[in-house]
Each structure stands twice: as structure tokens, then as C-alpha cells.
């Protein structure tokens, strides 16, 4: 175990200092910063729009009412709408940044419905007129005495949809429902991305040890299993580091910490889903990383190895492509099959868990299968590894590999 | 009887239809330099990889330092034929890492690496990246990489490959001092003069089978033709038992038949020949090697 750790630390430490790793990792935050700077310099309006988006408190609309239907302004709109008697006066207020737009309601409004909106900014940043609908509706229905009818006119229906043939469970309203789907979906994507990123490092690491011929020296000190495990742990951590930097920088730049909290909170309300997603993440990564590292040794160059391992990244992504099926019928036979098959189980289960009451047999079965698969792929992987690492020159065919494996 | 640190019994290894190692048995004694010889593709590297637990034998047994192969990786130093180093990393870093993989703690590995680098006159290169070193320097770094954990048994596959004569001398010196410390060396090499100089016993294999096995002295004696080299001011023309003579500068090579070297010497002394030197002729290991391997391939046909 100590040797596994030595290898893991070495792999992590050597690679984390590589210039290309540092550049690639900082690329995403840098691009974010560049985008932000560009938008600040070249689109003050855009900047203004962002500010307005996040700081809605300062959004005030001047209303010049010539129809009389909006005088006086209803008390609940008083903070965001201010009455102006004269259009010129309202325009001055707009120029002085006291208001963000001016709405002129002509006396022909009732018949024609046309109003004039004067706003700062450009077509690019939007006029901010969408918020006006609520203001207009509220004032128009005010003439109706019946409050219940008013309420219905403003918000005509609240649909309680029941889907036949599916036991969707929604807790915490629409937002909760969306979040409880998005979060595991993101987890699934995170797994696919981690596999993708780390597999690149894994393949490069084994290809380098192979082409520099250092591998046999290493194999005289440690077993192929130890080497494989050390690499998977070290480079898995490396991939995770990269992704965490990306997520953190994206969250920081996008002001998205709130978003992040919004994602994490529902997870803690359904701890079992979160816990299981984590279990599937770790197990899924283990299976894929070992496979990729082992198969990666068979190529004679980095590029060739990467081609061979590309197929596994594709398999990991299959359930993502079937999101539609999983969403509409989380307990369909095809979904259950994908849930049991170790290579698709992690991503499938991540998508499926929050959507339905997954039978415990599926959960237990897929986890047990994954747990059995890992030692199996490590054992088989070590054989392929032993074989591939010391085989120089041409890439063997599938039949040859099977034949050689029996003798390895 | 000296203790054997390594013994192989009836080793067999096949790759598909090709037999790489065919019923091979041998022992390596404590403190000796054991030569593992053979032409290219004879099965030397396969044999060594089985000893190092990099390959598994199809059948047969190996006992290495009292256990199965792979049980005592920490006590064996291995210099493979296919070798290299992490090219982008620094020399000292690589050596320390390889030492740690052998179970030595980081600080000790570093100290030993520095001491060994000094010994092969590379101390100034310890902070350089491996790819900045010349081929010969890299060879020396690889050599010390297999000594970093102070192993009891060294298995060296072609350690002199790519070295100039000065560095060959340096590595030879290092090997001799290791043996004098009581370490055992298994040496696979193609330079027969070096094998003759260094090895106590040898195993010559071809097509996975043992052709010759035993003490180098004994083998050379067995292969020595019945001939002697004599240097004398004047030699009689007709001596009984001599079937051929050849002048090689000041020395004459006599091929004998029916009498031994001892009797021949007595006959010379009797005829009052003034002998300056007299020696039994030996055959260079190189000739034995070539004769055996060619003989083996002819008998196959």
C-alpha cells in the first residue's frame, strides 16, 4: 500500500507541475476573466445589464400616464414605478440615472394598446420591458371588483399534472424538481469529464513510461497491480484537481456561489441520493480508470493509445444520450439493463436515482456488480498492462491479445 | 559448500508456438559473478524476466533469496536490457523515486543517490534533467538506479551496452567492489572478453536450452585442445607425439596426439631444449561460444 501511495504521490506531483497542465488548468478561468474584461470594456451596456440583473433594487420605471388608467399607481408597484406628469421631465430623470426607463402611455392606449418605452442601453442589453406585463395586468384588472377573479386573471391556472405510468416524485415544488434532476445530471457529466480528463493523463503516463523504457525498471520494484493502482489514484486526483479549479473559478467569476449553494442544498435534503451518487462516482471512476490505463499500454504511441481508449469515454456517455428515455420512464427495461451493466451503471444511476423510487435490488445489484468488477478489471488490467508494457513495435490484434493474455 | 542465492529448476516459457525457455535449470552461488550467455533471442531476457517476476513461467520453479520470485524485490537490483529513465525529470529526483519504490525512505535514497553519483563522476549532473545527459551518462545513472537500495543480488542485462572503454572500466571496478562486499551478480553480456574477466561460472543457452553450464575455468579446460605454446631459442624438428606445429611470432604452437602436455614437456627437457616459456593453449570463450552455438544450430538441422 505504501508503494501505491508513493506512486500516486509521484504521479500527482510530477504532473501537477508540468507547464501544459498549469496552462490547460488555468485556461478556463483565464477565458472567463477575458470574457468579463471584454464585456466590461466594450459593452458598458452589457455590464449595466448584468448589474441590473443582479441588483434589481435600483430598477425604477417612470410612468407618464395620459390614459388615466394607471393613476394612481397601485401601492405594491410604488417602489419600482414612479409617476411623472411630463415626458420631458421623465426623460431628464432617465438621463440623470434616477430611473432606468420611461413608459409613455398615450390616451389611445385602451383602444390600440401601444405604449412608448424609452430606455438607456441598446438592443443588445435588452429594453427590460418584460417586467412591465405584471404592472399593466394588475392595473387593468383593478377595475373588476371581484378579487378572486382578479387573481385568476393574473395567474389563470396552477396545473397539477399527473403522469400515468410513472411515479414521479416531486418534492419542493418545480424548482426542487428541476434541481433534483439537474444535480445528478451534473454529477454524471462530472464523472464523464473526470474520466475524460484523467484518462488523457493516464494514457500519456503509461505511454511515456513505455516509450522511455523505464517501465521494466519500475516493474522490478512493484507489481503491475501496485503500479496500476498508484497511477489511477494519482492521476484521478490530478483530473479532479483540474475540474475543481474549473468549477471554483466558474463559480467565482459567474458570481455563481449562490448557484452552487442552490445546487448543493437540495442534495442535503436527499442525503441518500447524494451519498449514492458519490458511491457511483468513485466506483465508476475506478472501473474506467483501470481499464483505460491498462488498454492504454497496448498502443505504440500516445495518439494510438488515445484512440483505443476513446471508446470507453463513449460508453460512459451513452446514458447521457439516453437522458430522454431515463426521464420519461426511469424504470424501463433498457434503463434497468444499463443500471446493472458496470460500465454504464454509474452514469445511469446518477440520472435515475432522483427521478424515481429505484428498486433496491437495482441499487444493491449494480453496486455489488461494480464492486466485483473492480478487482476483476484490476486483475485483468494488470495482465494486459504486464503484456502491453513490454511489447514494443506493432499493436496486437484482438485475437492476439486474447491468446497472449492466456500466457501472460 | 557455498549457499545458493538463486536456483531455477526446469523452467519453461512459451509464447504461442514459440518456445523461449526450455527446461532450464541452474544455480547461482552466494558472492559469485554468474554469466548468463547466449546469442540474441536465446531466451536470456525471458529467463531474467521470470526471475524478476515480470513474466510468469509456464512451469518450473524459481527460488530467489529463499523465496519465490517477487517476494524479495527490495533485495534485488535489476538492470533490464530495455531500459530508460523519466526523461523530463531531474536525475536526483528519478533516483530517489526509484529508491522509494524499492522501499528505501526518501532521505536515505537521496543520500545514497548522491554518493553513487559521485562514485561515477556525475555529481554535478544531479540537478539536470535526464534528457540533458549523454547516452553514456544515462547508462551510468541507470546502473546506479539498480544499486540505490543496496541490494544483495544484482541482475544485470547488458550493463556495458553503449559505454566507452573508460566507462566500461569504471563499471567493471564498481562491480568488482560490489562482489568484494559479498554481493552476488548475475551478468548477461555479449562481450566475451569481459565475461571471461569477470565471471566465475557461466550458463550458455541457445533456443531456451542450456548448452554449457559450470565453472568458467573448468569449461575452458574441457575445451582446451591438446596443444601447448612453447617459447625457446631452438626447437628440435621431430618430437614424438606432435602432429602439427605452427609458428606464431616467437612462440610455437604444438598440436599433440597420443601424449599429454606433461610428457611433452619432459621430452623437451630431456632433449636439453632451453625453454623460456611453456603453457597449455586455451581457447578464448568467444570461440567456445561460437562453436557451441553453431554446433547447436547444425544439430538442429
Q: In chain B, at which residue ranges do the beta strands (DSSP E only) sit?
A: 4-15, 18-29, 33-37, 59-64, 76-79, 153-157, 184-188, 201-206, 209-215, 227-232, 242-248, 251-256, 275-280
> Best interface-test mutation with A: which of B15, B78, B97 has the largest number of A CBs within 10 A?
B97
pLDDT of residue A169: 45
- Tell if the CB–CB gap between A212 and B85 is shorter than 8 Å: yes
Tabulate helix, strand, coil % of chain B (nearest 5): 35, 30, 35
pLDDT of residue B186: 94
- Tell if the CB–CB gap between A407 and B15 is shorter than 8 Å: yes
Q: How many residues does chain A have?
A: 408
Cβ neighbours of A390 in B, within 8 Å: 49, 54, 82
In eight-state DSSP terms, residue A395 is: P
Alpha-carbon span A115 to A60, nearest angstrom: 17
- A116-135 in b/e burial notation, b at 16+ Cβ within 10 A? eebbbbeeebeebeeebeeb
pLDDT of residue B109: 92
- Tell if the CB–CB gap between B73 and A221 is shorter than 8 Å: yes
Which of B:26-65 have CB within 8 Å of A?
A: 49, 52-56, 58
Enter the C-alpha cell of residue B160. 556495458
Whole-model pTM above 0.90? no
CA distances from B78 to A251, B45, B57, B74, B146 (A): 50, 12, 18, 10, 5
Decide if A218 touches B, using CB distance below 8 A. yes
- CB of B50 within 8 A of CB of B56? yes
pLDDT of residue B154: 93
Cβ neighbours of B80 in A, within 8 Å: 213, 216-217, 220
CA distances from B112 to A168, A218, B51, B73, B77 (A): 66, 18, 26, 18, 14
Q: Where are the alpha helices (DSSP H) in A105-223?
A: 109-112, 132-141, 147-154, 173-211, 215-219
Which of A:241-270 have CB within 8 Å of B?
A: none
pLDDT per position as a tens digit, B248-261: 888 888 888 888 88
Count other Cβ atoms within 10 Å, centred on residue B83: 23
B79 forms beta bridges with B156
- CB of A121 within 8 A of CB of A48? yes
- State CA A46 to chain mean position distance: 25
Query: Residue B117 pLDDT more than 90?
Result: yes
Enter the ipTM: 0.80
B66 Ramachandran zone, left/alpha/beta (phi>0; psi -120 to 50): left
Query: Residue B280 pLDDT more than 70?
Result: yes
- State CA B162 to chain mean position distance: 16
Q: Give kind and range of the element (H or E) at residue B207.
A: none
Cβ neighbours of B85 in A, within 8 Å: 212, 214, 217
Alpha-carbon span B214 to B204, nearest angstrom: 9
Q: Which residue of B has its CA nearest to A402?
A: B16
Residue A332: Cβ-neighbour burial (10 angstroms; 0-12, 13-18, 19+): middle
Q: How many residues does chain B have?
A: 301
Decide if A404 touches B, using CB distance below 8 A. yes
User: Closest Cα of chain B to A205: distance in Å?
Assistant: 10
Enter the C-alpha cell of residue A262. 442552490
pLDDT per position as a tens digit, B197-240: 899 999 999 888 888 899 988 888 888 778 888 888 777 777 77
- B114-150 in b/e burial notation, b at 16+ Cβ within 10 A? eebbebbebeebbeebbeebeeebbbbbbbbbbbbbb
pLDDT per position as a tens digit, B26-70: 999 999 999 999 888 888 988 998 898 888 888 999 999 988 888
Q: What is the pLDDT along chain A (408 residues), one digit of tens a residue?
A: 788 999 999 999 988 888 888 887 887 778 777 777 776 666 555 545 555 555 545 678 888 988 888 888 888 888 888 888 888 888 888 888 888 888 899 888 888 888 888 887 665 555 667 778 888 888 888 877 788 888 888 788 877 776 655 444 444 455 555 655 666 667 677 777 777 777 788 888 888 887 788 888 888 888 888 888 898 889 888 888 887 887 777 767 665 555 556 556 555 556 677 778 778 888 888 888 888 887 777 776 777 777 777 777 778 778 878 877 777 777 788 888 888 888 888 888 877 877 767 788 888 899 999 999 988 888 887 887 777 766 655 555 666 666 666 655
Could you give the angle at the alpha carbon of A195 between the alpha carbons of A194 and A198, nearest 5°?
A: 75
Residue A333: Cβ-neighbour burial (10 angstroms; 0-12, 13-18, 19+): exposed
Sheet with B4-15, side-by-side order of all strands? B18-29, B4-15, B59-64
B214 forms beta bridges with B202
Q: Which residue of B has its CA nearest to A387?
A: B55
- State CA A21 to chain mean position distance: 22
Match 430522454 to its residue by C-alpha cell: A324
Average pLDDT, chain B: 87
Which residues, at least 6 apart from A91, have a Cβ–Cβ distance to it below 8 Å?
A: A102, A118
Alpha-carbon span A75 to A267, nearest angstrom: 39
- Tell if the CB–CB gap between B85 and A408 is shorter than 8 Å: no
Cβ neighbours of A214 in B, within 8 Å: 83-86
Q: Are strands B227-232 and B242-248 parallel, antiparallel or unpaired?
A: unpaired
Q: Are strands B201-206 and B33-37 parallel, antiparallel or unpaired?
A: parallel
Sheet with B76-79, side-by-side order of all strands? B76-79, B153-157, B184-188, B33-37, B201-206, B209-215
Amino acid at each position: 500500500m505504501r508503494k501505491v501511495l508513493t506512486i500516486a504521490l509521484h504521479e500527482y506531483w510530477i504532473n501537477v507541475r508540468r507547464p501544459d497542465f498549469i496552462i490547460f488548468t488555468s485556461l478556463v478561468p483565464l477565458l472567463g476573466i477575458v470574457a468579463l474584461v471584454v464585456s466590461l470594456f466594450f459593452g458598458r451596456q452589457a455590464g449595466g445589464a448584468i448589474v441590473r440583473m443582479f441588483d434589481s433594487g435600483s430598477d425604477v420605471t417612470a410612468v407618464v400616464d395620459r390614459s388615466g388608467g394607471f393613476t394612481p399607481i397601485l401601492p405594491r408597484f410604488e417602489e419600482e414605478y414612479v409617476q411623472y406628469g411630463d415626458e420631458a421631465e421623465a426623460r431628464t430623470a432617465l438621463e440623470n440615472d434616477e430611473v432606468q426607463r420611461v413608459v409613455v402611455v398615450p390616451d389611445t392606449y385602451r383602444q390600440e394598446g401601444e405604449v412608448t418605452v424609452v430606455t438607456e442601453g441598446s438592443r443588445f442589453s435588452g429594453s427590460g420591458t418584460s417586467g412591465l406585463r405584471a404592472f399593466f395586468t394588475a392595473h387593468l384588472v383593478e377595475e373588476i371588483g371581484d378579487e378572486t377573479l382578479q387573481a385568476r386573471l393574473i395567474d389563470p391556472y396552477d396545473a397539477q399534472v399527473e403522469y400515468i405510468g410513472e411515479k414521479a416524485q416531486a418534492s419542493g415544488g418545480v424548482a426542487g424538481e428541476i434541481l433534483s434532476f439537474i444535480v445528478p445530471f451534473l454529477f454524471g457529466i462530472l464523472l464523464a469529464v473526470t474520466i475524460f480528463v484523467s484518462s488523457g493523463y493516464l494514457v500519456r503516463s503509461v505511454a511515456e513510461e513505455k516509450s522511455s523504457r523505464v517501465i521494466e525498471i519500475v516493474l522490478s520494484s512493484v507489481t503491475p497491480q501496485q503500479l496500476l493502482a498508484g497511477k489511477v489514484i494519482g492521476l484521478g486526483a490530478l483530473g479532479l484537481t483540474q475540474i475543481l479549479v474549473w468549477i471554483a473559478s466558474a463559480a467565482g467569476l459567474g458570481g455563481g456561489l449562490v448557484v452552487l449553494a442552490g445546487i448543493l442544498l437540495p442534495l442535503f435534503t436527499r442525503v441518500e441520493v447524494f451519498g449514492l451518487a458519490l458511491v457511483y462516482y468513485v466506483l465508476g471512476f475506478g472501473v474506467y480508470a483501470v481499464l483505460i490505463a491498462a488498454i492504454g499500454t497496448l498502443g505504440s504511441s500516445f495518439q494510438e493509445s488515445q484512440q483505443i481508449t476513446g471508446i470507453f469515454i463513449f460508453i460512459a456517455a451513452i446514458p447521457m444520450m439516453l437522458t430522454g428515455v431515463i426521464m420519461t420512464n426511469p424504470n424501463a427495461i433498457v434503463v434497468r439493463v444499463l443500471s446493472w451493466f458496470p460500465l454504464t451503471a454509474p452514469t445511469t444511476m446518477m440520472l435515475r436515482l432522483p427521478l424515481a423510487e429505484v428498486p433496491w435490488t437495482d441499487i444493491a445489484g449494480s453496486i455489488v456488480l461494480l464492486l466485483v468488477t473492480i478487482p476483476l478489471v484490476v486483475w485483468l488490467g494488470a495482465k494486459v498492462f504486464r503484456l502491453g508494457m513490454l511489447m514494443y513495435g506493432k499493436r496486437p490484434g484482438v485475437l492476439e491479445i486474447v491468446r497472449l493474455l492466456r500466457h501472460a | 559448500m557455498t549457499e545458493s542465492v538463486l536456483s531455477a529448476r526446469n523452467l519453461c516459457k512459451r509464447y504461442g508456438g514459440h518456445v523461449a525457455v526450455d527446461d532450464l535449470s541452474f544455480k547461482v552461488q552466494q558472492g559469485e559473478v554468474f554469466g548468463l550467455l547466449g546469442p540474441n533471442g536465446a531466451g536470456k531476457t525471458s529467463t531474467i524476466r521470470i526471475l524478476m517476476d515480470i513474466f510468469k513461467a509456464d512451469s518450473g520453479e524459481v527460488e530467489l533469496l529463499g523465496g519465490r520470485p517477487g517476494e524479495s524485490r527490495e533485495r534485488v537490483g535489476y538492470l533490464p536490457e530495455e531500459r530508460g529513465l523519466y526523461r523530463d525529470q531531474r536525475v536526483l529526483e528519478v533516483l530517489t523515486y526509484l529508491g522509494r519504490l524499492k522501499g528505501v525512505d526518501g532521505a536515505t535514497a537521496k543520500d545514497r543517490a548522491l554518493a553513487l553519483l559521485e562514485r561515477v563522476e556525475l555529481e554535478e549532473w544531479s540537478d539536470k534533467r535526464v534528457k540533458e545527459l549523454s547516452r553514456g551518462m544515462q547508462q551510468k545513472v541507470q546502473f546506479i538506479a539498480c544499486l540505490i537500495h543496496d541490494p544483495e543480488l544484482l541482475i544485470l542485462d547488458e550493463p556495458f551496452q553503449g559505454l566507452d572503454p573508460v566507462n566500461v572500466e569504471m563499471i567493471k571496478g564498481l562491480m568488482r567492489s560490489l562482489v568484494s562486499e559479498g554481493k552476488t551478480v548475475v551478468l548477461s553480456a555479449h562481450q566475451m572478453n569481459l565475461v571471461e574477466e569477470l565471471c566465475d561460472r557461466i550458463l550458455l543457452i541457445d533456443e531456451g536450452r542450456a548448452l554449457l553450464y559450470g565453472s568458467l575455468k573448468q569449461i575452458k579446460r574441457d575445451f582446451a585442445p591438446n596443444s601447448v605454446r612453447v617459447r625457446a631459442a631452438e626447437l628440435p624438428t621431430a618430437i614424438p607425439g606432435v602432429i602439427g606445429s605452427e609458428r606464431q611470432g616467437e612462440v610455437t604452437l604444438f598440436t599433440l596426439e597420443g601424449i599429454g602436455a606433461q610428457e611433452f614437456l619432459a621430452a623437451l627437457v630431456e632433449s636439453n631444449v632451453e625453454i623460456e616459456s611453456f603453457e597449455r593453449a586455451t581457447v578464448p570463450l568467444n570461440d567456445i561460444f561460437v562453436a557451441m552455438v553453431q554446433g547447436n544450430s547444425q544439430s538442429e538441422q
